[in-house]
Amino acid sequence: MTGAQPETKRGRTGKAISTLLLAASVLALLRPMPLQAQETELRGEVSESAILSDQQRKVRQMSRARAQDQNAPETAAADTSAPADTYAPASPGAVPDDTDATAANGSIFDQPAATDDPFADTPAPVKPRRTSTARQRVDATDKKADDKDTGKKNKTKVADRKKTKQQTDATTTGATASDDAGIAAGDEDGANRRAVTIDSVDRRKLDPGAERTQSIESQNKKPEDDPFAATGIKVGTFVFKPTLEQGLTASSNADASSGGRSAVLSETALRFTAASDWRENSAVIDGYGIFRNTVAGQKINDAQGRIEGQLNVDLDNELRAIAKLGYEAVPESASSPDAIAGVTSQPLRQTVDGSLGIEKDVGKMRYALTGAITHDFFGDANLSDGTTLSQKDRDSTLYSATLRTGYEISPAITPFAEVEAGRRIYDQRLDSNLYERSSTRLGARAGLELDMDDKLSGEFSVGWLREAIDDDRLPANAGPYVNADLKWSPERGTIVGLTGRTTIESTTTAGESGDVLYSGRLTGERQIRANLTANSALGLDWRDYTGSDGHDLIVSAEAGLTWWLNRYAGLTTRVRTEKLTSNLPGRDYVANSVFLGLKVQR
């Protein structure tokens, strides 16, 4: 027991000493000490010019030290025994020759010897000789080197040395460009000369007196004409602007027929336009699609749409080419003269059309030649008993050519006249009733083309159109021709449009040739506020049956509002009414509808 106690005390003493040593080591490590790189001034990226400047400075210091060591004994002897050297001017004749031996051995700058003559003239004391410029440069360089070695950074002395250096550089031609750059950089900030880098000039502070450059975009930015217009999406070289409309339609006559019933429909409409941003030529693509499905009421499930593209190309010799291509798919309307009774769905009518036109201007004369092809083909009709009825005998192709000649009275008004010739050929020479339905088309019209920028633009024409059917038992479809496509803006934010079209509708009904349909639309759009737009439309259709006094009159009216929540989405609503009055039995109907939905654009 007694032997273990000393061992315990020694162990405690050893632990205490170890703890003290550990604490002292931690304190020594925590003590802030400058890094070796900071003491030796080796921080930062070192440029080649700074290294060269430092080496040249050291070489000059070593050369001056060796020269002082070698000349020290001679200088001491000259001060004690040898007289001062005689001043010799750089160019002869600068100082007059002095034959006096005493003057020759002395200097003109030495003080005159003192005499006891009280009446002797005492010359004015000679001003001390100014140190030479080269000597000033040496002294300034030595002083700068001493300040660098001792770490002095007095800004006032640095400024004085900088001024002396500038005077020395003005008179001394032996200094190199790299030496000047290194010394100037060291004098400006008083920091390590080795820290001067290649991009040190770019990091200099801007001159506060320099004139500030104004911004590219001024504060007074011009407001947009339509802040809620679609911005579009860049797709290759085209700007694509899609619009999606989704909502519900409540209709009193879902299929617009004499026997139609009310229904609530889900209606989706997709519309888009794509325009090129080419430098010279241009291209535009337009399209739409409408899909309707019954939510409640009469069963409706149909879709329709169209896509059309136009390409304008400038050729040589003042020639312009205009090419168009389109595709359309629309189900046969229940109010059409060719509608089939007792079907679950009307046949789908598809149309592929294209045209190519060449235009040329010769002085004030305008010439245009256009060739067009239109092919119509129909799907089968699904009857209520589960069978189908083929519509192949209605498929046909229309080939036509139109020649237009115009004269430009002014850049805003160009009257024109045109003639048209064409041929409609049915895929089947004889239809199901053994009639030859192919026909020859002839037409002539005169019109006026207007171009008053955004105020009024478009064209309208009137004339006569005739299609003579090959079968002698059927009379020709003929009648006046009216065509119009005008846009008028009476004031900013208001656009009024007028469209008119004349269409010859052929048929395969036994003993009938068809009819001539005249369609007109008057539309209006008004921007009430930046985010509120109103639109309206009035429609008038007149169908004249060939070979009889039968006719149809269709009147329609529509009004709507669109309230934009932001640039990309808005609420839209519209009400519509349509009425057909005919002198033929079983064709009259009235259809009223209300739509409410959300409109999204990009």
Mean per-residue pLDDT over the chain, rounded: 78
Distance CA 166, CA 448 (A): 84
Contacts of 587 (CB under 8 A, 6+ apart): 258, 335, 552, 580
Fill in the amino acid letter for 452.
Answer: M
User: Is residue 179 classed as helix, strand or coil in its secondary structure?
Assistant: helix
> What pTM does this model have?
0.63
Spatial contact of 289 and 272, defined as CB atoms under 8 Å apart: no
Give strand pairing partners of 456.
452, 488
Give pLDDT, residue 382. 84
Element (DSSP H or E) covering residue 56: helix 48-80
Q: Report the range of poorest mean pLDDT among 84-88, 424-428, 455-459, 593-597.
A: 84-88
Q: Assign 61 a pLDDT band (cuts: 50, 70, 90).
A: confident
Give pLDDT, residue 447. 95
Q: Check residues 92 and 323 and name the one with the higher pLDDT.
A: 323
Q: What is the mean pLDDT of residues 545-571?
A: 93
Q: What is the mean pLDDT of residues 66-85?
A: 54
The arrangement of secondary structure in 233-601, i.e. its CATH architecture, is Beta Barrel (2.40)
Cβ neighbours around 72 below 10 Å, total: 9
Give pLDDT, residue 102. 42
Query: Can you read off the two tokens belonging to residue 576?
Result: 């519509």
Distance CA 368, CA 403 (A): 6
Query: Can you read off the two tokens belonging to residue 241?
Result: 């602007």
Give residue limits of the domains in the chain.
38-72+131-198, 233-601
Distance CA 570, CA 207 (A): 53
Give strand pairing partners of 339.
none
User: Is residue 422 classed as helix, strand or coil in its secondary structure?
Assistant: strand
Cβ neighbours around 181 below 10 Å, total: 18
Q: Assign 80 a pLDDT band (cuts: 50, 70, 90).
A: very low
Burial degree of 297 (CB within 10 A; 0-12, 13-18, 19+): middle
Give pLDDT, residue 180. 46
Residue-wise pLDDT for 131-184, tens only, equals: 444 455 545 555 555 555 444 444 444 455 555 555 555 444 444 444 444 444
DSSP 244-258: EEEEEEEESSTT-ST
Sheet hosting strand 388-389, strand order edge to edge: 343-345, 381-383, 388-389
Burial degree of 232 (CB within 10 A; 0-12, 13-18, 19+): middle
User: Is residue 87 classed as helix, strand or coil in its secondary structure?
Assistant: coil
pLDDT of 210 > 80? The answer is: no
Q: Report the range of poorest mean pLDDT among 102-106, 418-422, 446-450.
A: 102-106
Cα Rg, the chain, nearest whole Å: 52
SS3 content of the chain, % helix, strand, coil (to 5): 20, 45, 35
User: What's the CA dihedral at 27, 31, 35, 40 to 10 degrees?
Assistant: -120
Half-sphere exposure of 547 (CA within 13 A, CB side): 16
Q: In Å, how far are 303, 468, 476, 569 from 376, measured between CA atoms?
A: 18, 19, 20, 38
Distance CA 289, CA 284 (A): 17
Residue-wise pLDDT for 285-308, tens only, equals: 999 999 999 999 999 899 999 999
Q: Which of 233, 254, 255 is nearest to 243 (CA)?
A: 233
Q: Assign 344 a pLDDT band (cuts: 50, 70, 90).
A: confident
Half-sphere exposure of 560 (CA within 13 A, CB side): 24
Residue-wise pLDDT for 517-551, tens only, equals: 999 999 999 999 989 999 999 999 999 999 888 89
Give pLDDT, residue 55. 75
First to last CA, the chain: 97
Give pLDDT, residue 64. 79
Give pLDDT, residue 207. 64
Distance CA 433, CA 430 (A): 7
Query: Can you read off the two tokens belonging to residue 202?
Result: 């770019």
Spatial contact of 546 and 475, defined as CB atoms under 8 Å apart: yes
Q: Check residues 321 and 153 and name the one with the higher pLDDT.
A: 321
Tokens 């002082």 belong to residue? 68
Distance CA 597, CA 369 (A): 45
Distance CA 427, CA 96 (A): 129
Distance CA 285, CA 240 (A): 9
Spatial contact of 497 and 523, defined as CB atoms under 8 Å apart: yes
DSSP 472-529: TTS--EEEEEEEEEEEE-SSTTEEEEEEEEEEEEE--STT--EEEEEEEEEEEEEEEE
Q: What is the mean pLDDT of residues 254-273?
A: 92
Q: Report the range of poorest mean pLDDT among 207-221, 288-302, 470-484.
A: 207-221
pLDDT of 499 > 70? The answer is: yes
Alpha helices by DSSP H, 382-446: none
**Pairing between β-strand 282-297 and β-strand 233-235 as defined by DSSP bridges:** unpaired
Q: Which of 325, 346, 324 is nearest to 335 (CA)?
A: 346
Provide φ and ψ at 85, rounded to 5°.
Answer: -65, 145
Spatial contact of 117 and 155, defined as CB atoms under 8 Å apart: no
Q: Check residues 37 and 333 and name the one with the higher pLDDT.
A: 333
pLDDT of 83 > 70? The answer is: no
Residue-wise pLDDT for 402-443, tens only, equals: 999 999 999 899 999 999 999 999 999 998 888 999 999 999
Query: Can you read off the two tokens belonging to residue 90?
Result: 């750089």
Give the number of residues written for the chain.
Answer: 602
